[in-house]
Amino acid sequence: MTTLTQRPEWTDLIKHKETLPPLKDLHNSHTISDQGILLDYSKNAVTKKTINKLINLAKACNLEAWRTKMFSGEKINNTESRAVLHTALRAPKDADFTVDNENVMPFVHDTLQRMKDLSEKIRGEGQITDVVNIGVGGSDLGAHMVCKALKHLADGPKAHFVSNIDGAHINQKLEALNPKTTLFLIASKSFTTQETISNAHAARKWFLETCSEDKIKDHFIALSCNTKEVIEFGISEDNMLPFKDWVGGRHSLWSPIGLIICIHLGFQRFQELLSGAHAMDQHFQEAPLEKNIPIILALIGIWHRNFWNAESMAILPYAQNLNRFPAFLQQLDMESNGKSVTRDGSKIDYNTGPIVFGQAGVNGQHAFYQLIHQGTSLIPSDFILFKEPYNGCKSAHHKLLANGLAQADVLMNGQTLEAANNDPHRVFEGNIPSNTLVFDALTPFTLGQLIAIYEHKIFVQGIIWDLNSYDQPGVELGKSLANDILNNGPKTPLHKYALSKI
């Protein structure tokens, strides 16, 4: 079988790269506009010929056929023999998504109806003032990010998130809460994750210090695929919102894992979030490759990762409420494509998933931009901007946007020694690439679009790298060793020293 680096399209790109002038001399104008989104990818060392060659590589990797497989419910998560159908969760009722010849849409929309009824009941009754989502990884990051991103629209019970097994995390939350008005969502696809179950037991113990066992049913809801473990924990099936195994953990905010979004923000806003993601699903399926936002972002990422050897990339949302978006994308990208064997288990001889980091602008400018501008690592960035202020302050938003736009320009254009008054410390080499995504406003719909853009970008990169982007074997070994140390004691002098106070 032809591996990626043996493909003629790959070697063609290597040769092509040598023909290109520096980025700042290209004076590109590369944009895609669709669904109220502008992607400006001019600040990349790519010409139209480069893009065409990258598209040829994607075609050689059968990208479109794989896209069809994903949407048709084929089990593309080959190591777990599962379909990858988070897109079904945001599709309309009459959509056709099947797994094992069964149309999943009735189950999806029955579940949505249950989420709607439950969240509206909780919000309407007014008994619950605080909702605590106990979960980790995909059972925390996505819903957490959405609740923070849209907190300017929150009109329901307060949303809290507990993920770390460090007792400080849950204790600092519980000490401020009233058990009589607190609802716990135990969010765990497997319902066997040690951190989550440990925190769930701590919450249950805290609750039973003041409330009776018969009240558990009114204050604990399980969000999981594992009914057996939920019942064993002590939550009845009636108090469980199930979802299917074809929803990956890091793609689960659209599932019952998103219940806290419905309670905190209202089901209508959750529906708008789903609609935005569905709109982007349609764009991803229908837009021509050269006008396809997730595909172009993916190909530019491949260009930087594999032909410029960029080890990392920065996610720079210029919106304080999106401060958790980079953390969400870390799992979405690094847990999907942080792999070194192909789908069939063959060793890989090329770069795969990048190190993803970032924080809201302008804060990052006062933290790591120095390195991006003048360091020795090439770090491509994605700037994410919103034309309208969501914070109600136009002048502050003007400053925010001016900073984001300026940073991207300086990264590309740099500053010469002459312009730096011959001070070598103030020379900026420039030629540092970035993409800029501009949305009209930060709304549930545009947030849904934004998340789906990156879900599909990561899918495209995984296909080109010939990876299974939907399992996570790399997180299992550490967990089992931790259990071994917990159950059988320290193994090394360092273990003994560090555990000496326990």
Q: Which is nearer to ligand F6P, 419 or 475 (CB)?
A: 475
- Summarize as ranges the residues that interact with ligand F6P (CB under 6 A): 136-139, 188-190, 193, 196, 249-250, 335, 472, 475
What's at 268, amino acid-wise?
A: Q
Q: How far is the CB of 352 from ligand F6P (least distance, A)?
A: 17
Task: Establish whether 479 is a catalytic residue.
Answer: yes
How is 367-379 classified by DSSP, letter by letter? TTHHHHHHSSS--
Which stretches within 288-438 are classed as H helix? 293-302, 325-329, 335-337, 369-374, 394-413
Q: How far is the CB of 197 from ligand F6P (least distance, A)?
A: 8
Closest C-alpha to 188, from 219, 221, 159, 214: 221
Q: Quick one: residue 137, left, alpha or beta (phi over 0 = left, psi -120 to 50 = alpha)? A: left
- Burial category of 74 from C-beta neighbours within 10 Å (exposed 0-12, middle 13-18, buried 19 and up): middle
Closest to ligand F6P by CB, 222 or 302: 222
Taking the complex as a whole, how short is the minimal distance between the CB of residue 418 and ligand F6P, in angstroms?
A: 51
Q: Is 366 a catalytic residue?
A: yes
Specify the 3-state DSSP secondary structure of 264.
helix
CB of 249 to ligand F6P, least distance (A): 3
- For ligand F6P, give the closer residue by CB, 190 or 363: 190
- Residues near 399 by beta carbon (within 8 Å), at least 6 away in sequence: none
Q: Residue 190 or 275: which CB sits closer to ligand F6P? A: 190
Which residue in 15, 27, 347, 366 is the catalytic one? 366
How many residues in the chain?
Answer: 502
Token pair in block for residue 148: 């923070």
Q: Which listed residue (48, 398, 399, 479) is catalytic? A: 479
Q: How far is CA 244 from CA 107, 226, 387, in A?
A: 9, 9, 38
State how far the Cα of 180 lies from the Cα of 187, in Å rounded to an integer.
Answer: 20
**Among residues 126 and 473, whose Cβ is nearest to ligand F6P?**
473
- Rounded to a whole number of angstroms, the minimum distance from the CB of residue 342 to ligand F6P is 20
Report in angstroms how near the CB of residue 268 gets to ligand F6P at its nearest.
26
C-beta separation of 443 from 275 below 8 A: no
Q: Considering the complex, state which of residue 10 and residue 233 has its C-beta at the smaller distance from ligand F6P.
A: 233
Q: Are 107 and 244 in contact (CB under 8 A)?
A: yes
Shortest distance (Å) from residue 233 CB to ligand F6P: 12
Q: Which residue do the tokens 């923000």 mark?
A: 265
Q: Catalytic residue at 335? A: yes
Nearer to ligand F6P, 166 or 440 (CB): 166
Catalytic residue among 195, 272, 335, 455: 335
Look up residue 220 and give its DSSP letter: E
Per-residue buried b or exposed e for 297-332, using 16+ beta carbons within 10 Å of the residue's own CB: bbbbbbbbbbbeebebbbbbbbbbbbbbbbbbbbbb
- Give the residue numbers annotated as catalytic, written as ranges: 335, 366, 479
